[in-house]
Each structure stands twice: as structure tokens, then as C-alpha cells.
Amino acid sequence: MTIRKPNELEIEKILTHSPQSIFEGTLGEAKATIDKAKQLVEPLLRKGSYYLISTENNVITGWILIGGSKDQFSNKTIGFIYELFVLDEYRGRGISKQLIKAGVEQLKKEGYLEVRLSVFEGNQAIKIYESMGFKNRTITMSISL
């Protein structure tokens, strides 16, 4: 497995899978189109966020979208994982962990002292994040009306 930055054609391929990534990441709450996924991702890319992809034999197996963000309370600059996704047929091989490790290491090299992410309660990825040292920092609560 190789982890690297994608080229423009590979970014377009990622974006074709982004609706599935959003759907799974939100546990089915958001059913995004490719256009909606682009509306979410393109501003991040313009502000300097970027993908790292994992490949096997030049075939994309997964990706992580990383970049900088600001803490809403302290205005402190932090590293942020915006998206993590592994294609169905490549799951269970440890690719997520390798992408997280590479993403965190890259953000560390860029000078970030902290990396955060957001994840829906009940998402299976929580176990992976916890196994890599991530801890709950905030909890968002809701009530249906």
C-alpha cells in the first residue's frame, strides 16, 4: 500500500464516492449528491486542505481529507481530519489506521499541536479513532421535535 497526495483526476474519482462517504459518515442522515459533496469539499481544498490517498497497484483504496481549522472558542489553530473513507472492497485491512497515522503525521510536520475530528455517535470508526489515541472532547446533543 502507498499513501500519497492524489492528482486532479484522482480527486475527481474521490468526489464520485463522496456521497457514499457522507451517507455512511452521517449514519444515513445525509443523502448527498456529487454536487453537494463538491460544495462541502471545494471550499476546504481552496483554503489549503488536501487529500491523502491509499493505493494498491495504482488503484485508490481509500482517502483522508486533512487541513487546518480554528477552535470556535479559543480561535486556536488546529489540525483537522474532515473525511476518512475506505472503499467497501478494501475494508478490514487496516487502511483506515494507516491513513489516520499518515494524516496525523503530516499535520504534525506542518506544525499543528493538536488534531481533531468530528464523528457521529454510533459510527464504527469511533473504535478506530479511540485505538489511535483520540478522546472525546465535546459532545453535541439533540432532541427531535
Residue 145 inside a domain? The answer is: no
**Beta strand segments in 13-58, E:** 50-56
Residue 137 inside a domain? The answer is: no
Residue 15 inside a domain? The answer is: yes
Cell of 127: 473504535
Q: How many residues make up the chain in this entry?
A: 145
Residue 141 inside a domain? The answer is: no
Residue 11 inside a domain? The answer is: yes
Q: What percent of the chain has pLDDT over 90?
A: 68
CATH number of the structural domain spanning residue 42: 3.40.630.30
In this structure, of 26-30, 58-62, 79-83, 113-117, the range with the lowest mean pLDDT score is 26-30
20 pLDDT higher than 90: no
pLDDT at 90 (0 to 100):
96
Q: What percent of the chain has pLDDT over 70?
A: 99
Question: Is 30 or 35 the better-scoring residue by pLDDT?
Answer: 35
Q: How confident is the model at residue 69 (pLDDT cuts 50, 70, 90)?
A: very high
Residue 113 inside a domain? The answer is: yes
Instruction: Give the separation between CA 136 and CA 133, rounded to whole angstroms.
Output: 10
pLDDT at 23 (0 to 100):
74
DSSP 62-97: EEEEEEEEE-TTT--EEEEEEEEEE-GGGTTSSHHH
Residue 125 inside a domain? The answer is: yes
The mean pLDDT value for 118-133 works out to: 91
Count Cβ atoms within 10 A of the Cβ of residue 29 and give its class: 0-12 exposed, 13-18 middle, 19 or more buried.
exposed
Residue 96: give the domain boundaries: 2-131
56 pLDDT higher than 80: yes
pLDDT at 3 (0 to 100):
97
Residue 140 inside a domain? The answer is: no
pTM metric for this prediction: 0.90
In this structure, of 30-39, 79-88, 103-112, the range with the lowest mean pLDDT score is 30-39
The mean pLDDT value for 30-37 works out to: 79
Nearest to 65 by CA among 34, 41, 46: 41
pLDDT at 102 (0 to 100):
98
Quote the number of domains for the chain.
1
